[in-house]
Amino acid sequence: MREGTVLAVCISKGGIPKLPVESARVTVDGIVGDGRDHAKHAKPTRALSIQDDELLAELRAEGYPVDHGSMGENLTVRGLDVQHLTPGTQLALSGGVVLELTEVRKPCFVLDPIDPKLKEVVVERCGFMAKVVVEGELRPGEVLRAVDSGGEGPAAP
């Protein structure tokens, strides 16, 4: 079982960047107040996006000006290695929310203003989309535990 920490919870009225907030309510439809007007985002299986802070650090080292929410992610986490998890993995947050990874996140076309090459650079390494299994509040500082879908049972906070 892997553990990590939520560094930032980010929302926007639509588009990027998403900006960090102190807390946010999450329902099966996504984070309350987060713009999801585009049809590809308005699905329960794409309720929110999760990305590793370690990736953001790598991208900054490569010269890209990115920070929490820059690439449209809702949760920035450290220590979880999201990219190496699999669909079906549940993430249990210490505040009670439970998420389930659904699909590898694809780079968003709106990354061009950051750098026209960024979309190509982050293919296959820009996090996961997730659905909400248990609703609640999300806050920076929460611990998350990953429980693989391989039969270890449901995640619990």
Q: Please give the structure tokens belonging to residue 2.
A: 């892997």
Determine contact, residues 96/144, Cβ cutoff 8 Å: no
Determine contact, residues 80/1, Cβ cutoff 8 Å: no
- Single pTM value for the model: 0.88
Q: Please give the structure tokens belonging to residue 9.
A: 């919870």
pLDDT in tens, the chain (157 residues): 789 999 999 999 877 889 999 999 999 999 998 886 555 556 899 999 999 999 999 999 999 999 999 888 999 999 999 989 999 999 999 999 999 999 998 887 778 788 888 888 888 888 999 999 999 999 999 999 998 765 444 443 4
Determine contact, residues 4/78, Cβ cutoff 8 Å: yes
Does domain 2-147 correspond to CATH entry 3.30.70.270?
Answer: no
